[in-house]
Structure 1
Amino acid sequence: MSLQQQTPDEWTPTGIKSTFWIVVPASTDPGPSPVCGLGWRFSCSANLDSSSTSTVFVGADGGTLPAWRIAVFFDPHLVSSAGYGRLSFSVDAPHLVIPKDANNTTTFTLPDKSRAREAQIATFIYIVDKTRKIVPPTVTITVKLPASLGLSIPRSIGQRLERTLIDTMHGKEVVDVKFYALTRRSAGYVGRPQGILAKASLLQGYSDSLDVLILGGGFTESRLVDLDEEQIDTELLEDYDYMSDSDLDDDEDGPDEEETSSLATPANSDNNASAVNADPFNTPLPWSAPATPVSLPHYTPTRRMGRVVVIRGTAFKTWKALLYYLYTSKLSFSTEFVTQAIQDEYEVPRSSAKSMFRLADKLGLDELKSLSLSSIRGRLTKENIIREVFCKFTSMYPEVQDIEVEFLLKNFKGLEGELNFVLEGLCKGDRPHCADVLRKIVAVGVDGSATTRH
């Protein structure tokens, strides 16, 4: 019995999918698969299912069909000592039968402290009917990694991106939409819009809200403009309802008069060209000497036509990370210590898990929302839980409240003093947004006490 890889591994945002043919030779000795994923491999074994409790399968001629009991195993192999945490498995074999007494492991923790060589992750029954054309059955195994790792894993090129690359061979534009979002915060003020270009076809189909935003939906964004010359009305960016957004860079010096003025006046004013569209190649350098006139051939640049979309209430970093995720399915979350760090332009863009959760909730991107929530859960500690559970962000989302209240009550010992201090403030009218959180703490605490008494 052996596993023969059918297709190359498929890399997803949180895990790796491997598909195999199950080859049943004369020998039933298990044989390992090639190395898959990040260094693990799989194997399988087969035995005739002849126990007295086995289901009997009958063929078209009325005869009993032989049935093989197939077990699939996970072998950590090269990553047995890696600190990946708890892996979870999903095994699908559409042409095999799942026995009622299957007892399979669905998780495996790395590093492997038990030093177990392998773990059984699936059991199937393979029915051999020689009256029909025998096609090797397939099994697909998906190994999912903890989202809290913030691990960026490679991914095969998708069909959308492949079509876009083919379009470039036919002379079509690589970009046809330009987004503007804000980048900096200072003393209640958010400013400095920055633009990022994208290909609309790579972003469509994930969310109705996002599709309306990209296609314009009859609003100003629906008109086509020259992407290299378009200037935005910065007043459209002033409504920012999440001032604690950690994807905004902090401006310690505060906004200067010129910058504040540029936000108060539409960028297409005759006397106030938008800084976000300033052409660095046409700006005279302060140290330049007068240039000698040179006769150059007349050149007319090609116009890149597309839509300009102003992103309201979302930081530039968050939006850039979203676009990258929709392009590649790669995602990387910032930590508290590297949120403001300068990134290499070719790295996977980092964003705050909270900011991405908020954006995913707005756009109805459930998978991205789940990944962000897992990262938020994975970064809760006894040192930060009181601050997190009573913050404004938590008050806006019941899912976040649930995981943080659960963590707080499980780790309550030693936090009584800090919690009492916060509760005293709540009684004085501080943090009015915390009513739902406080209600859940009391409700879950009372239910837990009642269960303990019984």
Structure 2
Amino acid sequence: MSTNQARINALLRKSLVGELLDTQFYLFSVRSKREGNVTNLQALFANDEALTAGSEYFSSLLSKDSETPNDSAVVEFQDYHACEGGISLDEYGYASDSDLDEEEEETDETVQDNEKCTEVSAERVSRTATVKDFATKGAQRIIPTRRVLVTDTAFNTWQALLDYLYTDEIVFAPLRSQAGKSVRCRRLGEAPPCSPKSMYRLACKIKHDKLQAKALSAICSSLTEHNVLQELSSSLTSRFPAILEMEIEILFQNIVSPTIMKDFPALIQRIASANLPHGADILTKLHERMLKQHYPRILSPAPASENKCKGSPLSGPFKFNWEEPRKPVAVSWT
């Protein structure tokens, strides 16, 4: 039996006796451009043992010996926390997060749907109250769980992370810059898709090398001449050198394609207008890639033995061969 299957079996057995859930994670799931914040907390329920088995980050975060989380973006709360109503996009730290749903503008149909949902919720509350009244008459078992608020990651990304730690499976959604591609709806029993860019950011934060490599590979396979310039302009590219290097390589491979030749001047204009904070990094890396392709010897440092002049090292591509001057030859005249 594989380690992964053994872990799943253990979780199923714990569920039979009601000892499956240890921690509740609450994360924001909606971005409001109108308000400039993230809202709509949703909960995920997890088993600590399953998470700590495959992640040092969770081993530290969920340690019973630790009274406070080791992550400033993780907050423990009991009944209410000031962040529950939402936080600003700046506070969240990733305004362009693809795993956040966009807030829909309210229409007459939306209002009617909300009213129907309210009626259904009221009915469910009534039924729940009846069940609770019945339960109080018999023996009850209350299982305490830890409640944690995560303020820098989308609900969808965190759900995919927990699912990966449970099953070792990950499903990446297409990049938003990929024209004509959309995320398909999934069934409850299927792995939840997430943005590879959002997962790469999270994997770097929790220092999960294997998941980081998977996300980076998914980003790479999604880059083409049609979206690489758009991805180069993203805020995530400015934060992670590995992504910048990869996108520069794709750009260089397609530098003479019609799409790149047509759209590249617009990128240069943005950089020249100081509308792209990491524009200098893009041009520097592109220049390095061009030198590597066409002038490889310039980037290769000269051997130390060839860069010496009277024992003083010289830097740069220049090479000097120093020779001691010949001593004068004594001539005797007889």
Query: What TM-score does the superposition give when structure 1 sets the normalisation length?
Result: 0.52
SS at match of 1:330: coil
Closer, same or farther in 2 for the Cα pair 1:163/1:390, shift >3 Å? same
Q: Which of 6, 9, 21 lines up with 1:162 in the alignment?
A: 9
Report sequence identity in percent: 27
Note the 1:68-147 alignment, pairs <5 A: none
- Residue number in structure 1 paired with 2:156: 317
Unaligned residue ranges in structure 1 (runs of 5+): 1-7, 11-155, 222-228, 255-277, 286-290
Q: Aligned-pair distance for 1:444?
A: 1.2
Counterpart CA distance in 2 for 1:403 and 1:204 is 31
Closer, same or farther in 2 for the Cα pair 1:348/1:446, shift >3 Å? same
Q: Which of 75, 100, 108 lines up with 1:248 in the alignment?
A: 100
Higher relative contact order (CA 8 A, sep 6+): 2
Q: Are residue 338 (structure 1) and residue 182 (structure 2) matched?
A: yes
Q: Aligned-pair distance for 1:398?
A: 1.0
Q: Is the 8 A contact 1:182 1:190 kept in 2?
A: yes
Q: Are residue 207 (structure 1) and residue 55 (structure 2) matched?
A: yes
Counterpart CA distance in 2 for 1:176 and 1:204 is 12
Q: Aligned-pair distance for 1:401?
A: 1.0
Counterpart CA distance in 2 for 1:296 and 1:166 is 24
Q: Which of 373, 384, 390 lines up with 2:216 in the alignment?
A: 373
Unaligned residue ranges in structure 2 (runs of 5+): 71-76, 107-120, 299-334
Counterpart residue identity of residue 189, structure 1: N
Q: Aligned-pair distance for 1:184?
A: 0.3
Query: What TM-score does the superposition give when structure 2 sets the normalisation length?
Result: 0.70
Note the 1:1-400 alignment, pairs <5 A: 157-168=4-15, 171=17, 173-187=19-33, 188-215=36-63, 217-219=66-68, 231-235=79-83, 238=87, 239-253=91-105, 281-282=124-125, 298-299=137-138, 301-335=140-174, 336=176, 337-339=181-183, 342-400=185-243
Closer, same or farther in 2 for the Cα pair 1:279/1:439, shift >3 Å? farther
SS at match of 2:188: coil
- Residue number in structure 1 paired with 2:315: none
Post-superposition Cα deviations, 1:141-172, rounded to whole Å, max 9, x if no partner, equal: xxxxxxxxxxxxxxx84333333334455x35
Cα root mean square deviation, aligned: 3.2
Q: Is the 8 A contact 2:61 2:69 kept in 1?
A: no
Post-superposition Cα deviations, 1:255-291, rounded to whole Å, max 9, x if no partner, equal: xxxxxxxxxxxxxxxxxxxxxxx99832589xxxxx9
SS at match of 2:278: helix
Q: 1 or 2, which has the higher strand percentage? A: 1
Counterpart CA distance in 2 for 1:386 and 1:250 is 24
Q: Which of 246, 252, 258 lines up with 1:403 in the alignment?
A: 246
Q: Aligned-pair distance for 1:452?
A: 10
Q: Is the 8 A contact 1:392 1:434 kept in 2?
A: no
Q: Is the 8 A contact 1:213 1:309 kept in 2?
A: no
Counterpart CA distance in 2 for 1:299 and 1:334 is 47
Q: 1 or 2, which has the higher helix percentage? A: 2
